[in-house]
């Protein structure tokens, strides 16, 4: 698929305090659509969707940090995957269900 080649991005790598690197793979189209439907206050769900299989490792690394650390990770991952801000995806602007 030509679009796959044109849209390609590398996995996101997050270095954590103990020197490990946690790799987050780019989200699928299905995941992108689900992110767009997720209200901002469901931050754990947004993080799970963005991190995929790496969520448990990421959660272990940031769950005890200040809240803005988690928000920064979400923003950084979204920007890396060329998704703009989560707000641009609908996440921050999505209405509660």
pLDDT tens digits, 28-78: 889 989 988 888 778 888 889 999 999 999 999 999 988 788 888 888 888
Whether pTM > 0.85 for this model: the answer is no
- CA-CA distance, 5 to 84, in Å (whole number)? 19
For residue 12, the cross-strand partners are 24
Distance from the Cα of residue 45 to its chain's centroid: 10
């Amino acid at each position: 698929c030509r679009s796959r080649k044109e849209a390609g991005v590398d996995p996101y790598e997050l270095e954590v305090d103990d020197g490990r690197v946690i790799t987050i793979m780019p989200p699928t189209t299905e995941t992108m659509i689900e992110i767009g439907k997720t209200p901002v206050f469901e931050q754990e769900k947004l993080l799970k969707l963005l991190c995929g299989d790496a969520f448990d490792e990421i959660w272990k690394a940031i769950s005890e940090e200040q809240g803005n650390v988690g928000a920064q990770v979400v923003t950084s991952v979204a920007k890396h995957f060329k998704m703009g801000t989560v707000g641009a995806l609908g996440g921050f602007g999505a209405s509660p269900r």
